[in-house]
Structure 1
């Protein structure tokens, strides 16, 4: 437990104190979108605006999770690989267990902080009524729904090039926000796009939040879908890690044979 707490403290300083732009980006950008769409670009009666502010709050919470996973987590873990931190930890008796557990814990905390910040903005700016129980429920759904996206961030972190990671993150986050209905209603998209959007983990999480905020039952289909995405991402991550490990061994073996032939 002490080793985990030490790793947690070390990673917390790197994530929150030494790279405040990541935290600011993951929290401030969704808040900016939320205020823009609910206070500037929305029209209707008072009751319609209140209902929209409540539902759009869930959308921006999910969007903040996307940013945190695909930009903050992926960039941090890629940097750790490039400077040799992960390789060094693999040689220690504890391995990388505490490292990954620490980052997952901190990203869960970042997602919870982002969700809490957006809920506070909704309450004080748009007068959205939220009870303590409802707020806690939103935090739980947001954190659980972030698991597939965090695994995707870990998967992207294995990309060698910083430029390629930025391209992948941008090409994933913004289209994902659009096709899953986070920025505007899904029914505005073509039928084929709606069909794709409804199976994305972002839509499933947002749908759970929407129903929960409306006091409705949570569909088991959505929860199973999120679990399925998480399982699929884990399998894909394992396959990629195994392939990269074998490729590295082949390259090292070929290098040794080249050196031997030269000698």
Structure 2
């Protein structure tokens, strides 16, 4: 346990304190989007709808922040570990592969927790969004669970092992996924066929769960099943890709 805690501390220093870009991409960017879409680009939005929009967009940006941290930060950090031979150091140390990824997950989930709290604080100050401590705790808890799926996607992307390929894949996944899921603007303004695709995405289903919590409406089992299915699919792909790379000698564990 002491070794695991020590590794987690090292990862905090490597990912947060030595990577200033995190504060821009993983925290500041969703906040900028939130202010932009709730204070500037709302001139034609009816006042009666604005309150719900400010609340719903807070949920969207929470999930978007989780995507940035869960997918982009995970993929790039693991790739950097591979290229700097830090992963080799872990392989030669008593720390297991499971502990290595577990420690990384704790750091990334904590960063997403900080992002969610920062976004909520901005929403309360800028738009006077009123969320009880209990509801906020439920929202953050659900999003942190959803972050695990996003981290799995980031791990999968890192297996590409080339910086250009990893950057391309993260951009091809994160930004289209955010758009299709209705995180940047309402999904109902898209063509029907795009809506049908977007509603299958795990991030859309996560937003449905969050909005039901926020507005205290009835939850349905469908979104939870969707997230479970996506998690199983990504985990299965991870297992297959890792096995193939082991057979080819591309991974050490």
Does the CA-based 8 Å contact 2:4-2:95 persist in structure 1?
Answer: no
Distance in structure 2 (CA, Å) of the matches to 1:106 and 1:47: 40
Distance in structure 1 (CA, Å) of the matches to 2:160 and 2:70: 15
Deviations 1:121-155, CA, capped at 9 Å, x for gaps: 11110001111101111110111112211100011
Deviations 1:186-235, CA, capped at 9 Å, x for gaps: 11111111111111111011111111111112221111111111111111
Distance in structure 1 (CA, Å) of the matches to 2:186 and 2:97: 42
Shift of 1:45: 3.8
Matching residue of 1:151: 152
Deviations 1:59-111, CA, capped at 9 Å, x for gaps: 11111111112221110011101122223322333322221111101111111
Does the CA-based 8 Å contact 1:62-1:202 persist in structure 2?
Answer: yes
With structure 1 as the length reference, what TM-score do the two structures score?
A: 0.91
With structure 2 as the length reference, what TM-score do the two structures score?
A: 0.95
Shift of 1:158: 1.3
CA RMSD in angstroms, aligned pairs only: 1.3
Deviations 1:140-192, CA, capped at 9 Å, x for gaps: 01111122111000111111210111111111111111111111111111111
Matching residue of 2:5: 5
Structure 1: 5+ residue stretches without partners: 250-263
Matching residue of 1:29: 29
Q: Counterparts in 2 of 1:123-202, with a 5 A limit?
A: 123-202=124-203
Distance in structure 2 (CA, Å) of the matches to 1:118 and 1:185: 19
Alignment pair present for 1:246 and 2:247: yes
Does the CA-based 8 Å contact 1:58-1:209 persist in structure 2?
Answer: yes
Regions of 4+ moved over 6 Å = none
Does the CA-based 8 Å contact 1:64-1:114 persist in structure 2?
Answer: yes
Shift of 1:46: 3.3
Distance in structure 1 (CA, Å) of the matches to 2:23 and 2:239: 28
Matching residue of 2:104: 103
Larger radius of gyration: 1
Size of the alignment, in residue pairs? 249
Matching residue of 2:80: 79
Distance in structure 2 (CA, Å) of the matches to 1:83 and 1:44: 50
Structure 2: 5+ residue stretches without partners: none
Matching residue of 2:55: 54
Distance in structure 2 (CA, Å) of the matches to 1:142 and 1:216: 18
Distance in structure 2 (CA, Å) of the matches to 1:150 and 1:40: 32
Distance in structure 1 (CA, Å) of the matches to 2:122 and 2:129: 9
